[in-house]
Amino acid sequence: MSGRFEGKVAAITGGASGIGLATAGALLREGATVVLVDRDEVALKTLTEKHGPKCIAQRTDLLDAESCNAMVPEILAKTGQIDILHCNAGSYIGGDLIETNPAAIDRMLNLNVNAVMKNVHAVIPHMTERGTGDILVTCSVAGHAAIQWEPVYSGSKWAITCFVQTMRRQLMKSGVRVGQVSPGPVISALLADWPEDRLQKAKDSGALIEPSEVADAVVFMLSRPRNVTIRDMIVLPSNFDI
């Protein structure tokens, strides 16, 4: 542990599993205080007990407007500051558009797009007042390519790519850095919608990466000198063909 993030407070949405949990572990090892934001209260209790006092639970349901709006104020009441906001929570819909339904589309867009915009909107006054901060969003390689087998998911990530890069430009003179990490397929619950044969084929061919490998990229991005912004880092399995 180098302690590169000693004295920093990081809030990570979707922090109880997958990329969020892997990133939380990496930042804790580097000395940060980490707020795990998730709706899974049982998982939050288990994880904060495991990781100790520098790991703080924040039970938030990002799909509930009142809970989502209260997230940043509640975190600040617990920690006094937010140096890093990692908007990582998201969901996945694969397959042809006609195979899904309007409720699932609403849920995905609310979580993958609207909640991110609202969380960033909420944290900006705090960070700009302090003149420093990092906002990082988990996007996807699907935000860079029109992937025909996941039009709803890919559409949500294209929206996030646009939002992140416009906010980066809005905030670039405020001391607040904004960027995104764009992984290819990651072994996580987000791939639960993949057909089993496709998932197994991807595993066998080495076309999936682990959440920890995305977390490594996040730590690299956040640890750059303040005069350097990594605006986007695409992290792919070496055998991923797209």
DSSP β-ladder status, 33-38 and 133-138 = unpaired
Residue at 116 is within a domain: yes
The model's pLDDT over 50-95, given as tens digits with 9 standing for 90+, comes to 999 999 999 999 999 999 999 999 999 999 999 999 999 999 988 8
Residue at 240 is within a domain: no
Which residue do the tokens 């995305």 mark? 214
pLDDT given at position 191: 67
pLDDT given at position 177: 98
Residue at 1 is within a domain: no
Q: Model pTM greater than 0.75? A: yes
Which of these, 156, 143, 151, lies nearest to 98 by C-alpha position? 151
The model's pLDDT over 148-184, given as tens digits with 9 standing for 90+, comes to 888 999 999 999 999 999 999 999 999 999 999 999 9
Active site residues: 153
Alpha-helix runs per DSSP H in 2-110:
18-29, 41-51, 65-79, 102-109
CATH at residue 91: 3.40.50.720
130 vs 82, 134, 139, 175, 176, CA distance in Å? 10, 12, 26, 9, 9
Residue at 104 is within a domain: yes
The residues that bridge with 9 in the sheet, in sequence order, are: 33
pLDDT given at position 66: 98
Contact, 35 vs 20, CB < 8 A?
no
Instruction: Print the domain residue range for 57.
Output: 9-235
> CA angle at residue 225 from 89 to 133, to 5 degrees?
45
Report the C-alpha gap between 238 and 119 in whole angstroms. Answer: 33
pLDDT given at position 28: 97
pLDDT given at position 188: 73
CA dihedral (186, 188, 190, 192) in degrees, to 10, reads: 120
Contact, 50 vs 70, CB < 8 A?
no
The model's pLDDT over 175-203, given as tens digits with 9 standing for 90+, comes to 999 999 999 988 776 666 667 777 777 77
Residue at 136 is within a domain: yes
Report the C-alpha gap between 116 and 124 in whole angstroms. Answer: 12
Residue at 140 is within a domain: yes
Of the chain, the end-to-end C-alpha distance in Å amounts to: 36
* Structural domain count of the chain: 1
- Adjacency order of strands within the sheet including 84-87: 55-59, 33-38, 9-13, 84-87, 133-138, 176-183, 232-235
The model's pLDDT over 106-132, given as tens digits with 9 standing for 90+, comes to 999 999 999 999 999 999 999 999 999
Residue at 13 is within a domain: yes
How many CA atoms lie less than 13 Å away from 38 in the CB half-sphere?
Answer: 24
The model's pLDDT over 11-50, given as tens digits with 9 standing for 90+, comes to 999 999 999 999 999 999 999 999 999 999 999 999 999 9
Residue at 2 is within a domain: no
